[in-house]
Amino acid sequence: MSLAERYGEASSVLYFDINNFKEINDTHEHRTGDDALMHVADILARNLRDTDIVGRLGGDEFGIILTHTDEDATYEKAEGLVTNIRTTPFRWDGSTMYIDVAYGAYTFRAGESVDEALAAADRAMYAHKRSMKQPP
């Protein structure tokens, strides 16, 4: 938010949620769930710029701040991250699975609060998650 204030440029927040994470924990035990979280965190961290910030928001949710990033670039980055997560196999104890995620994005400008930006990205993520469950 400080960068948006100082430079007057848009930045964005992405909100990622691992789909069916409870199933991973319930079926394969919590250690596997912990490893799945680290797998996703590693993919996110390796595919961001040094100026971007990624962190676990809690449970199976991650937040990312993309500095100096407009709405179009934000969606392009989000889709690239989703593709990387979905196509990078998660391996543990001789088994392999592919992890799916939903995301929400919100581009903010100077004057908006952190809480507003996170809430908007969270709402967008849940809308995305609901749209994924719709039949074709």
Answer whether residue 135 shows pLDDT above 70: no
Ordered DSSP codes for 99-127: --EEEEEEEE-TT--HHHHHHHHHHHHHH
How confident is residue 85, by pLDDT bands cut at 50, 70 and 90? Answer: very high
Catalytic annotation, residues? 60
The domain segmentation of the chain, as residue ranges, is 2-129
Averaged over 29-49, what is the pLDDT? 95
- Cα(39)–Cα(23) distance, rounded to whole angstroms? 16
Domain 2-129 has CATH 3.30.70.270: yes
List, in sequence order, every residue forming a beta bridge with 108; answer none if it has no partner: 11
CA-to-CA dists, residue 105 to 51, 77, 94, 108, 132, angstroms = 18, 10, 35, 10, 16
